[in-house]
Amino acid sequence: MGAVESFLSEIVGLGNTIFWDYLLVYLLIFTGIYFTFRTKFIQFKLFPEMFKVIGEEAVEQSGRRGTNAFQAFSISIASRVGTGNLAGVALAVAIGGPGAVFWMWVIALIGMATAFIESTLAQLYKVPDKDGFRGGPAYYIERALGQRWMAILFSILITITFGLIFNAVQANTITMAVEEAFAIDRVWSGLALVVLAGIVIFGGIKRIAVVSGTIVPIMAAIYILISLYVVVTNIGEVPGIFMLIIQHAFGLEQVVGGGIGAALMQGIKRGLFSNEAGMGSAPNAAATAGVSHPAKQGLVQSLAVFVDTIIICSFTAFTIMLFDNYMDMTEDGIQLTQVALSSHIGEWASIFLAITIFLFAFSSIIGNYYYGESNIAFMNNSVVLKNIFRFVVLGMVMFGSIASIDIVWNMADLFMAMMATVNLIAILLLGNIAFALLKDYVKQKKQGVDPTFKASSLPWLKNVEWWQDDQVIRKDKKDK
């Protein structure tokens, strides 16, 4: 095991993580601000609309129905809501100080516009498969940009990043939480995790959608309620927490790890790991939905970024910062969150959080797996190749279960940065297509109709397969 970790550490070192860190930060900020202005602040203007479209049933398009809006939302949230919300936030605060929370908020708010663009593009360029639809950055890079080499590169990066490395991170957090709460050896909890994950991922996207749609809303609601209780019972200290976050964000107070740069870097990296805006992962889930207009999934996935970071991550940050000794703790990641929550509501919190992180991270594992499978299918839709990938995924889950926390997070940061860079470049080049779709959507809303898209309304589009005029869209079963 030590030799494997040493080898992987060398790979991370060769990747020059500092270069990728700064490149990613600049690209994320520029892209988020650019899309925010070009969409005329869509994340604020159409915020109420996001709640309307998320409840819509799947429409039928040429005999294919796909997942509904909420299921696609749940698949993406299953990947988003996990270690980033509980362990990642703790790492950000411990390394970057309270100011990191502010930069997490910023990157999420501007990232909502980025999420709209990438998921709208994924819907537009989706293709059929046995479960309904699939798609994502690889598909819009090849079909809209005409750059298959770039699409293949992205597919390889997302398959490694999500299917393998991010799943190692999720498994690492689960087994550490279980060890903290129950004193169970990480090897045994890792083996149990492998068995459970195998049952789900061999069941296909329908089973993934059902599991995600069941686990995520329930556990997110319970976690938010408990965190809300912590905040409310300490309401007198909350204004001071906000002031502390602002002061540290702009370097008005000394920040652990190197001042404002540490706060900004940790906030953006951990924020991206949590909400995935611009990373190119959520579009794979967005493409599975059967909707009447591509912009609808753009709005749904934009809302997912808000829920993930502005709500769930904030509650975690407040819970930690309301714990007096959080800056003096030696615990890493999830164990710091467990200690902080236990200090507020009792020792049982450590057990509750272990169960919560197990379900959050487990749903992330199966959501991450689907992103890899979708891109494996893009490169070579072979059943044998998919099965090999499934076993490698389970192997990485086991590796992450017993590996050190540093190696799995460093690997995640490196590959996340490379993958996001490819996707951000692509959506910057393709932004005009998403802007046109947004304009079409808003125009129909002003006319008082439920927006329905036809490719003929934008005749300059190329290589669009599932929005042709002869493909009748049925909005409910009784229309059949």
**Average pLDDT value over all residues in the chain:** 79
* pLDDT score at 256: 46
In a domain, 474, yes or no: no
pLDDT confidence of residue 265? 62
Question: Is pLDDT above 70 for 173?
Answer: yes
DSSP 477: G
Confidence check: pLDDT of 393 > 80:
yes
Q: What does the pLDDT average to over 290-297?
A: 91
Higher-confidence residue of 240 and 8: namely 240
Element holding 25 (H helix, E strand): helix 17-38
Ranges 119-133, 239-253, 368-382, 439-453: which has the least confidence? 239-253
Residue (of 52, 21, 77, 25) closest to 295 by Cα position = 52
Mean pLDDT for the stretch of residues 367-375: 82
Give residue-wise pLDDT tens across range 434-456: 999 999 999 999 999 989 998 88
Q: Which pTM was predicted?
A: 0.80
CA 372/CA 199 separation, integer angstroms: 17
Q: What is the pLDDT of residues 34-93, one digit of tens each?
A: 999 999 999 999 999 999 888 777 676 655 666 777 777 776 766 566 666 766 677 777
Q: What pLDDT does residue 57 have?
A: 76
- The number of domains in the chain is 1
- In terms of DSSP H, where are the helices of 383-404? 383-402
Asked whether residue 125 carries a pLDDT value surpassing 90, the answer given is yes
Yes or no: say if 177 and 351 are a contact pair by the CB < 8 Å rule: no
Q: How far apart are CA 128 and CA 25, in angstroms?
A: 35
Span 456-462, average pLDDT: 90
pLDDT tens-place string over residues 196-225 = 888 877 766 566 666 666 666 677 778 778
Q: Which of 215-229, 377-391, 418-432 has the lowest mean pLDDT?
A: 215-229
d(CA 32, CA 117): 10
- pLDDT for 205 equals 56
Residue 304 sits in which domain range? 2-467
pLDDT over 70 percentage in the chain: 76
Structure tokens at 314: 């904030």
Confidence at residue 365, expressed as pLDDT on a 0 to 100 scale: 82
pLDDT of 254 over the 50 cut: no
pLDDT at 457 over 80: yes
Q: What is the mean pLDDT of residues 383-391?
A: 88
The pLDDT value given to residue 477: 45
**Per-residue pLDDT at 10 exceeds 60:** no
Q: Is residue 478 assigned to a domain?
A: no
Phi/psi for 255 (5° steps) reads -110, 140
The pLDDT of residue 143 is 94
Locate 401 and state its tokens.
Answer: 């279960």
Does residue 212 lie within any of the structural domains?
yes
Residue 122 lies in a domain: yes
- The Cα–Cα gap between 274 and 418 comes to 16
- For Cα atoms 284, 389, 281, give the angle at the middle one, nearest 5 degrees: 20
| Domain containing residue 238: CATH number | 1.20.1740.10
Helices (H), 250-347: 260-275, 282-286, 294-305, 314-321, 334-345
Instruction: Answer yes or no: is 337 within a domain.
Output: yes
Predicted local distance difference test score (pLDDT) of residue 251: 63
pLDDT exceeds 70 at position 236:
yes
Helix (H) / strand (E) element for 105: namely: helix 99-124
Q: Has residue 72 been placed in a domain?
A: yes
